[in-house]
Amino acid sequence: MTFRFSVNNPYSITNTGQTHLYDFKQFMKSSSPTGPGWTVSKSGDGLAAFSSTGDIITSSGSGAGGLGNTNAWFVLQEPNGQREFLWQRGASSGSWVILYSYSARFTGGAAATRPSATDAVVVLGSTSNPATAAASSHFSTSFNSIFHFGANDADGYSFFYGGYAQSYITSNNNATACMFFDELQSGTYNDGYETDPRIIYIAGGNSSNNYNVASVSSNTTSTDVSRVVGFLYKGTIYESFGTISGLGYVVNHGNASAAGTGTGYACVPGFVGMDLFTKKDIVLPIFYARRGTDNVGAGGFKGVGKYLKYKATSRPYGTTISVVSHNDYIIMGDLAFPFSGGEAQF
Amino acid sequence: MTYRFNVNNVITGSGISGNDGDIVVYNFKTFMKSASPSGPGWTVTRSGDGLAAFSSTGDVITSSGTGANGIGNTNSWFVLQSPNGSRQILWQRGTANSSWVILYSKGSLFTGGTASSRATATDAAVVLGSTTDPSTAAGSTHFSTTTKIVHYGADDTDGYSFYYAGYHQTTLATSAGGLYFDEVIPLDTNIDNDYYIFFVNAGNSTNEWTTQGLGAENSLANTFRVAAWLYAGTPFQTFGITPGAQWRSNGTNNVVIPGSISQNLYTLRDIAFPIFYCHRNGPVFTNTFDTVGFKGVGMYMMQKGNSLATASTMSINFLRDYIVIGDCVLPFNGSVPST
């Protein structure tokens, strides 16, 4: 595998969201080595243009062929042709629906009506019903931002978009969109049983918990807030799609109750420091699991994420760290994202 | 690696003036000295019976009782050396059978000693004892005096990890005491030259063999805790508390692992998870150490994923190859555990 990147993309407050996602779409469509080589399999501009076979979204603006029209949408299909994601713009540039089809793929649709898939599930939207899901806040519309795109051009086709406020306005950094579609590390899930070893971290534009362990580890049942989602026990009678918590590493500090549920203190992310052998930063894997009592579906262990990591030591947004190679990760919130090796801009 | 076992030992509780702790340790020593496949083949390099017998080259402890050559005498002691000769661990009895000092040498090895004065090592660290000074540490509670079921296990190759662990007969309470010396997959495989942790239990708390004990970060050297060298060989090196983290969702609010997820619903089998050891930055106690860092991932002792009672077994690679004690999952030999 090779991660491909488009980093340090600046976005003004004008038309935020639609400009981010237009550039993201273009990046994802680019052939390796520029991008990962996904395909837009169908699209509609929310007005009159529609294609059941390709991409008619040709600009980030409004009007014909624009992603800036209410209900404009596109479907990205991974290079092996199996999985598809659909993004549809809501009534504002910061507001989106995101659906996921594991293998049935999206069919139908019209210029202003998104297609459907028999196995579609809601990644972001105001209901859990893919047919009726309405747009939810995804991108902040209150500040300029810097965004980075990354995607694996082979292997599990992981990808992400994420960023922070321009000019390093600290209070805004964690208030905008993020999506990370990550595969799981081989050997950490049920090889031979698990058919969708993937998780999706989705962060919306209305939460101060974005990019933080609070949202990654959330056990919410809501579909329009920041969280990790995925299938658990896909293909079995226990199958469910919904929140799967990315667990934090916690110690008791000596204050825990006998039942083990007493006050816990975060260890990872952020509190174990650098590697003092090598004087380098480290990143640590994220374990994904769901309790049976979380009311999402059957509980269980999903697996360990492959590319999205927790930071081990406290670092501010936009800090690049060198774990294996120079600047191969960038810190955003509590998370470490793969990075291009370059310098991050603010 | 191959784990060797001696399991289902019923050690009758004999009170504070009795000898059940002596029996646990004596049987452990005997097991550890046994050549593979009966045991892991460690060596007793020096010992003293607390009275008059002393050896600078071998084992003078020949019984679990009192009197000549007994381990049941105050200040009796012995040093076990790993088969590759690189590490030594010293046990010394305190004034009661439940009370022990445990010291660890990661390379210098123990020298000297007399019949009733334990040997010393320049790099000795206190695993269990009432002070952190290896030269003065006095015995601390290590075993309960209630009738207990005790299991011994040890890897005869690889990293030579071992344990003695148990629970009270009938009640299955985990406050019986015990020790796990576990190998870890270190943060830096080629740099960390002491990739081990000790999980020591004191025989007097319901937190033993639980996530509370694993995760405790304000424990003294005379109570239950995980202890290890962090950044051994560097200017930052310290030996002290290195908690084993649990896994929580909803920030730090909801414990997920250990014990709060279901069985693997694909296979309908129990699951266990590795333990990540780290010392976090945060409130620093006068009785803890300041260096923070990530030690590594435990190799053999794990945390249970789903809720299982003490003395339950898991079948991960073969039938009953792990036993549950508290929240911990330890290698086991396929037997049905005594209760």
Classify A19 as helix, strand or coil: helix
State yes or no: pLDDT of A201 exceeds 70.
Answer: yes
Measured distance CA(B283)–CA(A124) in Å, rounded: 39
Cβ-defined contact of A273 to B293 (cutoff 8 Å)? yes
Q: Residue B213 has what pLDDT?
A: 87
CA-to-CA separations, B36 to A167, B33, B42, B155, in angstroms, rounded:
65, 9, 10, 9
> Bridge-partner residues for B197, per DSSP?
B182
| Nearest by Cα to B292 from B283, B304, B300, B301 | B283
Residues A34-60 have a mean pLDDT of: 98
Pair B272, B302: CB distance under 8 Å: yes
Compute the C-alpha angle B178/B179/B181, nearest 5°.
Answer: 165
Largest CA distance in chain B: 61
d(CA A174, CA A161): 13
Closest in A248, A264, A272 to B293, CB measured: A272
Strand partners, B89: B80, B104
**pLDDT-based confidence at residue A253 (cuts at 50, 70, 90):** low
A291 CB neighbours in chain B (<8 A) are 249, 254, 256, 260-261
d(CA A176, CA B202): 50
pLDDT, mean of residues B95-118: 97
Q: What pLDDT is attached to residue A146?
A: 93
Which residues in chain B are closer than 8 Å to A249, comparing Cβ atoms?
Answer: 245-247, 276, 278
| Cβ within 8 Å, pair A250-B305 | no
| Nearest-CA distance B235 → chain A (Å) | 9
Q: What pLDDT sits at residue A170?
A: 66
Higher pLDDT, B216 or A47: A47
Cβ separation of A248 and B251 shorter than 8 Å? yes
pLDDT band at A285 (very low <50, low <70, confident <90, very high): very high
> Who wins on pLDDT, A337 or B157?
A337
Question: Is residue A167 less than 8 Å (CB to CB) from chain B?
Answer: no
Rounded Cα gap, residues B273 and B87, in angstroms:
27
Does A187 contact B at CB distance below 8 Å?
A: no
Per the CB < 8 A criterion, the answer to whether A124 and A202 are in contact is yes
Using one digit for the tens of pLDDT, what is the confidence trace for A152-164?
999 899 999 999 9
Task: Quote the minimal CA–CA distance from A191 to chain B in Å.
Answer: 10
Dihedral sign for Cα A231, A232, A237, A241, please.
Answer: negative
Which stretch of A127-131, A134-138, A201-205, B286-290 has the lowest confidence by average pLDDT?
B286-290
Concatenate the DSSP letters of all residues of B257-304 into one string.
Answer: ETT-S--BTTTTB--EEEEEEEE-SS---TTS----EEEEEEEEEEEE
Mean pLDDT of chain B, nearest integer: 92
DSSP A11: E
Question: From B258, which residue of chain A is nearest by alpha-carbon distance?
Answer: A260
* Cβ distance of B256 and A214 shorter than 8 Å: no
Q: What would you report as the CA-atom Rg of chain B, rounded to the nearest whole angstrom? A: 19
Sequential DSSP letters for B128-174: ESSSS-TTTPPPEE-B-SS-EEEEEEEESSTT--EEEEEEETTT--S
Give me the pLDDT at residue B284, please: 46
Helix (H, G, I), strand (E, B) or coil at A103: coil
Question: Alpha helices, DSSP H only, in chain A?
Answer: 18-29, 213-216
B205 pLDDT higher than 90: no
Write the CB contacts of B122 (distance below 8 Å, at least 6 apart in sequence). Answer: B108
* DSSP character at residue B116: S
> Nearest CA to CA, how far is B211 from chain A (Å)?
7
Q: What is the mean pLDDT of residues A292-315?
A: 91
Region label for B331, one of left (φ > 0), alpha (ψ between -120 and 50) or beta (otherwise):
beta
Kindly report the nearest CA distance between residue A207 and chain B, in angstroms: 15
Q: How far is B212 from chain A (nearest CA, A)?
A: 6
pLDDT band, residue B218 (cuts 50/70/90) = low
pLDDT of B316 strictly over 80: yes
Residue located via tokens 């898939």: A117
Contact A309, A285 (CB under 8 A): yes
Q: What is the mean pLDDT of residues A67-84?
A: 97
A260 to B245: CB separation less than 8 angstroms, yes or no: no
Question: How many residue pairs bridge chain A and chain B with CB atoms within 8 Å of each other?
Answer: 190
Q: Which residues of A315-328 are buried (b: 16+ CB within 10 A; e: fewer)?
A: bebbbbbebeeebb
The structure's pTM equals 0.93
Integer Cα distance of B64 and B55 in angstroms? 17
A264 vs B20, more confident = B20
Considering only CB atoms, which chain B residues are within 8 Å of A191? none
Asked if residues B292 and B308 have their Cβ atoms less than 8 Å apart, the reply is: no
Of the candidates A158, A174, A83, the residue with the CA atom closest to the CA atom of residue A309 = A158
Q: Residue B231 is encoded by which pair of tokens?
A: 């950044």
Percent of chain A clearing pLDDT 70 (strictly above): 95
Q: Which residues of A touch B262 (CB under 8 A)?
A: 292, 298-300
**What pLDDT score does B290 carry?**
61
H or E element at residue B256 = strand B254-257
Please give the pLDDT value at position B334: 97
The residue that leads in pLDDT, A204 or B124, is B124
Q: In the prediction, which pLDDT does A140 show?
A: 87
Strand partners, B153: B5, B163
- What share of chain A has pLDDT > 90, as a percent? 75
Residue in the block written with tokens 């993309």: A9
Name the minimum distance, in Å, from the CA of B154 to any CA of chain A: 26
Q: Rounded CA gap, B215 and A76, in Å?
A: 44
Residues 273-292 of A with CB under 8 A from B: 273-278, 282, 284, 287, 289-292
- Is A86 an 8 Å CB contact of chain B? no
What pLDDT is attached to residue B120? 97
Q: Which of B261, B281, B282 sits opposite A292 (nearest CB)?
A: B261
Q: Is the CB of A249 less than 8 angstroms away from the CB of B292?
A: no
Tokens representing residue B275 in the block:
């333990």
- Residues A142-155: tens digit of each pLDDT: 889 999 999 999 98
The whole-angstrom distance between residue B295's C-alpha and the CA centroid of its chain comes to 17
Tokens found for residue B22: 């002596």
Is the predicted pLDDT of residue A111 greater than 60, yes or no? yes
Q: Which residues of B touch A277 (CB under 8 A)?
A: 187-188, 191-192, 231, 234
A205-225: average pLDDT = 86
B52-61 burial string, b = 16+ CB within 10 Å, else e? ebbbeeebbb
Contacts of range A254-263, beta carbons closer than 8 Å, 24 or more positions apart: A254/B216, A254/B217, A254/B218, A254/B219, A256/B207, A256/B211, A256/B212, A256/B215, A258/B206, A258/B207, A258/B210, A258/B212, A260/B210, A260/B211, A260/B212, A260/B246, A260/B255, A260/B258, A260/B259, A260/B327, A261/B254, A261/B255, A262/B212, A263/B252
Rounded to the nearest angstrom, the minimum Cα separation between B329 and chain A is 16
- Nearest CB neighbour to B327, from listed A218, A260, A261: A260
CB contact, 8 Å: A245 with chain B? yes
Query: Which pLDDT band holds residue B287 (cuts at 50, 70, 90)?
Result: very low
CA-CA distance, B140 to B17, in Å (whole number)? 15
User: Which distant-in-sequence residues (6+ apart) come within 8 Å of A96 by Cβ?
Assistant: A17, A21, A87, A88, A89, A90, A124, A135, A136, A138, A139
pLDDT at B219 over 80: no
> In this predicted model, what pLDDT tens digit does every residue of B61-98 receive, in sequence order?
999 999 999 999 999 999 999 999 999 999 999 999 99
Contact criterion met (CB < 8 Å) for A278 and B191: yes
Work out the average pLDDT over A245-273: 75
pLDDT single digits (tens) B15-27: 888 899 999 999 9
Phi then psi for residue A19, to 5 deg, are -70, -40
**What does the pLDDT read at residue B203?**
80
What is the tens place of the pLDDT at every residue in A5-45? 999 999 998 888 999 999 999 999 999 999 999 999 999 99
pLDDT digits (tens, 9 = 90+) for B82-91: 999 999 999 9
Question: Peptide bond before B37: cis, by omega within 30 degrees of 0?
Answer: yes
Q: Are A49 and A67 in contact (CB under 8 A)?
A: no
pLDDT at A169: 65
Which pLDDT does position A256 carry in this prediction? 46
Contact B266 A190 (CB under 8 A): yes
* Mutate: best of A215, A229, A272, partner B, most B CBs <10 A: A272
pLDDT value for A254: 55
Task: Reduce the DSSP state of residue A7 to 3 states and report it.
Answer: strand
Q: Give the model confidence (pLDDT) of B184-196 as tens digits.
A: 998 777 788 899 9
| A110/B contact by beta carbon, under 8 A | no
**Chain B: closest CA distance from residue A220 (Å):** 8
Residues of chain A contacting B211 with CB distance shorter than 8 Å: 252, 256, 260
Q: How confident is the model at residue A183 (pLDDT cuts 50, 70, 90)?
A: very high
CB contact under 8 A, B247 and A287: yes
Asked if residues B181 and B300 have their Cβ atoms less than 8 Å apart, the reply is no
Specify the length of chain A in residues.
346
Tell me the backbone φ, ψ of residue B231, rounded to 5 degrees.
55, 45
Strands A248-251, A300-304: pairing is unpaired
